[in-house]
């Protein structure tokens, strides 16, 4: 088991945003995380990546307890994430953004780092944009750069936060193809997404959150056909 989350809790005052969440993810799995706005999905990513400290519970990565580790140590341990709103170093080039990620977030540095970064940019469709300043990219290119920077850290677990949001149908299909290639190479992926056809095309398993609680966890088709999920998430009265 690559990731094990045990009775994870997070409260902000009286508001519980993570309520006794248990979750296990095997090596090579692609797991979708869905739920209404405010369900606690991005908070869960923050807890896994270390930017948010839990109120209780534990997180284990490949058998090692990482609950107390800082974000940069979790990154070095193999957890990388993208953000719903891209957060590049806007004045650096696309290549420089990924070089920083590879050198400081991962362990690739020195002479081979340039070839490594070029390979990442090629895999994410950004090689032709390598020398562009990140602040001039389109939305799709910025989202690809979010993914490329995460991949440049050589993760074992990739957290994607609404990477398809705001894209056209054609752009969404291109992004799904990229993620499918990553999955085929054995990368473990947790993916928060509201674009359901994109998510269900890739994820073999779905986890549903509502008000900070896990209400469903299972095969994609079974979860999507659940009366409770349809009522809570899709707004269909059953």
pLDDT digits (tens, 9 = 90+) for 174-216: 889 989 999 999 999 999 999 999 999 999 999 999 999 999 9
- DSSP secondary structure letters along 130-165: TTSBGGG--HHHHHHHHHHHHHTT--SEEEEESTTT
pLDDT at 66: 98
**pTM for the full model?**
0.93
Calculate mean pLDDT across residues 83-104: 95
pLDDT of residue 238 exceeding 60, the answer is: no
d(CA 193, CA 53): 23
Domains and their CATH numbers in the chain:
1-78+156-238 (3.40.50.300), 86-154 (no CATH)
């Amino acid at each position: 088991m690559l990731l094990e989350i045990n009775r994870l809790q997070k409260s902000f005052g009286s508001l519980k945003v993570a309520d006794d969440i248990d979750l296990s993810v095997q090596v090579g799995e692609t797991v979708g995380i869905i739920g209404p706005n405010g369900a606690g999905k991005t908070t869960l990513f923050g807890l896994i990546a270390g930017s948010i400290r839990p109120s209780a519970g534990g997180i284990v990565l490949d058998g090692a307890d990482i609950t107390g580790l800082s974000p940069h140590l979790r990154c070095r341990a193999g957890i990388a994430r993208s953000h719903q709103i891209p957060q590049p170093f806007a004045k650096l080039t696309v290549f420089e953004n990924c070089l920083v990620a590879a050198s400081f977030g991962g362990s690739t540095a020195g002479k081979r780092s340039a070839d490594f970064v070029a390979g990442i940019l090629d895999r994410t469709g950004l090689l032709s944009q390598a020398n562009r300043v990140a602040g001039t990219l389109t939305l799709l290119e910025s989202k690809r750069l979010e993914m490329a920077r995460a991949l440049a850290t050589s993760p074992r677990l990739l957290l994607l936060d609404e990477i398809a949001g705001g894209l056209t149908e054609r752009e969404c299909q291109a992004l799904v193809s990229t993620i499918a290639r990553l999955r085929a190479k054995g990368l473990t992926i947790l993916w928060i997404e509201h674009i359901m056809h994109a998510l269900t095309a890739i994820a073999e398993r779905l986890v549903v959150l509502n008000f900070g609680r896990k209400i469903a966890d299972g095969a994609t088709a079974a979860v999507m056909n659940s009366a409770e999920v349809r009522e809570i998430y899709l707004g269909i009265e059953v």
